[in-house]
Structure 1
Amino acid sequence: MTISVSAAPARDHLPGIGDVFGYAATQIHTAAAELWPGAPVVLERHVPGITAYVHQGRVGDRVLYGKVSVLGVSLVSVLLGACGDWSSARLAQEAYVMRPDGLVPREAAQLTALADLDDGPQVSRVAGVHRGVLFTEPVPGPCLGDVLLLEPGRTAELLSDLYAELRPLHRPGAARHLGVGGAIAERGIGGTFLRKFNGISGTAYVDRLGEERCAPGTREDVVRLMRTSVRRLRRLRATLPAAEGTTLAYGDLKPEHVKYPEGPGGRPVLLDPGLVRMSPAVDVAKLVSRVALSLVAHRPGEAAVRQILEGVDEFATGLVRLSSRDRRMWLGNVLTLWLTDTVNILSSYLSAPAALPLADLGLELVERAVPVCSFIDTVSADTVSRSDADGVWDRALERAVEMAC
């Protein structure tokens, strides 16, 4: 495969798709050729996403995935000029790929550490790391989202079994498995929210949501609903317990990152960790958030939606066998994190330039942005009011049904 990238792009132009994708594809091709000299390297298929650049390729007779992180931020941020013009970003990237604390070396180290845990979860295998590129082996089989749609009655069982795989991470003291600086806080729910919606820049960010993705009338509704929801979530975040601790959260736990190579009856294999020193509530919240959004995108019908969300309820409430006060506090924390994660990911899709390819999930959520924003707005208002703490969680699940139907 022949890939050309301009050696001296104009200093005053923002990064374009051709700039970023051409650079990243070249890095993957070059790194593979240097890691496995003599083996033919063919880049076969770009995997759409908004965080890192990922390309499926073939190195000799091996299928591998190559991942490149541009300056440790999302592709959306790079394309919107958060890292400056392309010449400046490219220069900074050349230094970034040499740093041992870059996102790619930390993710590779996390995958290796997880694989070395005797009782830890199964994870995708690292094939190599070179020149800021992480190569991993593919994991066959359906993902959790597919299995839930096929077997909605097993939702509570599947989520509970998955959560059990993470027990070694959720134990006090598990953070010792991470080296100094080994956490990937960039993917944390709270940290992402604060970066996006902090101060004047956060207001401007909300005001521009959907500029290249939404029709004018839809965009006005999205911005209005997001503006009020973000204000409420900033207040709710102050009620959460401190993030730092001795337990670990997997961090980037979502249905498409959970695969079943032996079929739905076998053990899951997890992809793309984002280990961070936080409460296990982070893993529960991200899982619930992304399951709900998967239902919005796939719209399998009210019966299946209700069955899956009933399983979500059984899973989440079954994790706490304490007093009613502690149960309400746990569910309140999970709900706040759920809403925050939903705001984070939906705003990323809505702010993505039109030229950036999105996965089908992202395209569907942009199309259904108003129902999702309405859900966030209504549930965040209910949560802030705290007029009926026992019923807030139940009403949130009922509104999630409405959002997905």
Structure 2
Amino acid sequence: MITGAYADPDLARPTVAEVFVHSAALIHRAADGLWPDELVVLEAQVPSVTGYVHRLRVGDRALYAKTSLLGVSLVSLLRGKVGSWPAVREAQRDYVRRQDSLMVREAAQLLVLDGLNGPRVCTVAGARDGVLFTEAVAGPTLGELLLTQPEETSALVGRCLAELRPLHRPGTARRLGPGAAINERSIVGTFCRKFDGDGAAPCVVQLGAEHWRGESELVAELVRVSVRRLLALRETLPAAAGTTLAYGDLKPEHVLFPEGPEARPVLVDPGLLRATPIVDMAKLLSRTVLFITAQQRDPGTARLILDGLAASARSHLGHLSLADRQAMLRHLLVLWLMDTLNIVTTYLSAPAALPLPALGAAVVRRAVPVCSLVDAVSADLMDPTGRRGRGDRTLARIVEAIA
């Protein structure tokens, strides 16, 4: 990944049109190179704030193609953080040849996962010139099933987490070669990089200004206060690295059930990194809470889902002593809040011309209750007297935010 200071404001930032036309052309050329005798048809771009993703057909096969410009998010790229469009295109020519480029690492991770007993993952169809092609996976996502079968939340999440057991066994980190981790998916690493040790970091300024004006200052202040608390709470967390692997990018939309909700799921878009298993639980909790908050379903459905999530978390921590369970719950909640701010501020920083995924657009509309939730729970975590009942209080705050 390439990092650095903000680009010279006098240089032209990449535009959405430039990036999309260039990326679609890269995908088409890479597909033609891999399958010269097949008809390649690009069907639809998949909205994302991270990489460029396109659905396509190669002959009679349905595939997904993904490419990444310099390993940074589309939002960072479009905000000019890695330079002007000519500079980005020039740097990209070298980047796609690097063995540590993001798509090379993701392809390698899918192949490593395919050689384990779990989790089940999507199949790599090919990779070329910085583009990764994977087979499409049919079936409902975890998020879709939670809305239609909320009473089954604990069982559905349990099947998802069961897929990760081979990754969470001690010593599994040896499976991942040097430099093969996707540390860009680290919750704490992303949080510290994004906010740079400061609740008044540049990414907080003008949050949501291109989407709506009336509440942007309120959201920015809620984020600033929460960031300062979470940076302080970070000092209380145990070391993130370990001998186990975390899937790294576990989200409701990344878990599909092609054979139905009673069968094993298939996972897509890995971001393997050396970390403790609680990282996967935290990201799944964070993104599921965002998902149901954005959906604004009836309180009864939301409560069933939340109770199922809580049961899954208790099961995940049930083997620990009371003191260790309380410490791990605190760890889980801090990671959850960090991840929530990571993605919410990315959505709010996106240029108005960048198409957002449905979840992102809904989160932008619901930014005040979401950021108020992070503010309230982070304040609870700063209170040393409120350990007991912390989980129940957090559930109540989530229900309030959804309503």
Instruction: Determine if the TM-score, normalized by the shorter chain, exceeds 0.5.
Output: yes
Please state whether the residue corresponding to 1:245 is helix, strand or coil: coil
Q: For residue 3 of structure 1, what is the aligned residue in structure 2?
A: none
Gaps spanning 5+ residues in structure 1: where? 1-10
| 1:187 shift after superposition | 1.1
Aligned equivalents of 1:394, 1:148: Cα separation in 2? 21
Q: For residue 268 of structure 2, what is the aligned residue in structure 1?
A: 271
Judged with a 3 Å threshold, the aligned counterparts in structure 2 of structure 1 residues 171 and 129 are, in CA distance, closer, same or farther, namely: same
Please state whether the residue corresponding to 2:388 is helix, strand or coil: helix
Contact 1:64 1:135 in 2 (8 A): yes
Aligned equivalents of 2:157, 2:122: Cα separation in 1? 19
Structure 1 counterpart of 2:245, one-letter code = L
Equivalent residue runs for 1:121-136 within 5 Å: 121-136=119-134
Q: For residue 35 of structure 1, what is the aligned residue in structure 2?
A: 34
Structure 2 counterpart of 1:178, one-letter code = L
Q: For residue 112 of structure 1, what is the aligned residue in structure 2?
A: 111
Aligned equivalents of 2:237, 2:374: Cα separation in 1? 18
Q: If the length of structure 2 is used for normalisation, what is the TM-score?
A: 0.96
Q: For residue 65 of structure 1, what is the aligned residue in structure 2?
A: 64
Please state whether the residue corresponding to 2:245 is helix, strand or coil: coil
Q: Does 1:158 align with 2:156?
A: yes
Structure 2 counterpart of 1:395, one-letter code = R
* Partner deviation per Cα, 1:14-38 (whole Å, 9 max, x = no partner): 1001111111111100000000012
Structure 2 counterpart of 1:100, one-letter code = Q
Aligned equivalents of 1:263, 1:109: Cα separation in 2? 28
Contact 2:197 2:231 in 1 (8 A): no
* Partner deviation per Cα, 1:176-197 (whole Å, 9 max, x = no partner): 1101111000011011111110
| 1:58 shift after superposition | 1.1
Contact 2:103 2:131 in 1 (8 A): yes
**Which of 296, 311, 315 in structure 2 is aligned with 1:314?**
311
Q: For residue 103 of structure 1, what is the aligned residue in structure 2?
A: 102
| 1:323 shift after superposition | 1.4
Structure 2 counterpart of 1:365, one-letter code = V
Q: For residue 220 of structure 2, what is the aligned residue in structure 1?
A: 223
Contact 1:350 1:366 in 2 (8 A): yes
* Partner deviation per Cα, 1:386-405 (whole Å, 9 max, x = no partner): 22112222211111111112
Aligned equivalents of 1:191, 1:272: Cα separation in 2? 19
Please state whether the residue corresponding to 2:246 is helix, strand or coil: coil
Structure 2 counterpart of 1:102, one-letter code = S
Q: Does 1:290 align with 2:290?
A: no
- Range moving further from structure 2, 100-109 or 195-204: 195-204
Contact 1:196 1:202 in 2 (8 A): no
Aligned equivalents of 1:83, 1:366: Cα separation in 2? 25
| 1:213 shift after superposition | 1.6
Aligned equivalents of 1:200, 1:324: Cα separation in 2? 34
Aligned equivalents of 1:389, 1:242: Cα separation in 2? 21
| 1:64 shift after superposition | 1.0
Aligned equivalents of 1:328, 1:51: Cα separation in 2? 34
> How many residues are aligned here?
393
Identity %: 54
Q: Does 1:379 align with 2:377?
A: yes
Please state whether the residue corresponding to 2:273 is helix, strand or coil: coil
> Where in structure 1 do 4 or more consecutive aligned residues deviate above 3 Å?
199-202
- Range moving further from structure 2, 240-249 or 348-357: 240-249
Aligned equivalents of 1:200, 1:374: Cα separation in 2? 19
Q: Pairwise CA RMSD of aligned residues?
A: 1.2
Please state whether the residue corresponding to 1:390 is helix, strand or coil: coil
Q: For residue 46 of structure 1, what is the aligned residue in structure 2?
A: 45
* Partner deviation per Cα, 1:67-94 (whole Å, 9 max, x = no partner): 0011111000000001111111111111
| 1:202 shift after superposition | 5.7
Aligned equivalents of 1:393, 1:146: Cα separation in 2? 25
Aligned equivalents of 1:328, 1:32: Cα separation in 2? 51
| 1:199 shift after superposition | 4.5
* Partner deviation per Cα, 1:324-377 (whole Å, 9 max, x = no partner): 101101111000000000000000000000000001110000000000000000
Q: For residue 22 of structure 1, what is the aligned residue in structure 2?
A: 21
Structure 1 counterpart of 2:44, one-letter code = R
Please state whether the residue corresponding to 1:123 is helix, strand or coil: coil
Please state whether the residue corresponding to 2:280 is helix, strand or coil: helix
Please state whether the residue corresponding to 2:153 is helix, strand or coil: helix
Aligned equivalents of 1:156, 1:191: Cα separation in 2? 29
**Which of 233, 239, 242 in structure 1 is aligned with 2:239?**
242
Aligned equivalents of 2:68, 2:83: Cα separation in 1? 16
**Which of 299, 302, 305 in structure 1 is aligned with 2:299?**
302
Q: For residue 4 of structure 2, what is the aligned residue in structure 1?
A: none
Contact 2:198 2:228 in 1 (8 A): no
Aligned equivalents of 2:88, 2:400: Cα separation in 1? 43
Gaps spanning 5+ residues in structure 2: where? 1-9
**Which of 364, 367, 370 in structure 1 is aligned with 2:368?**
370
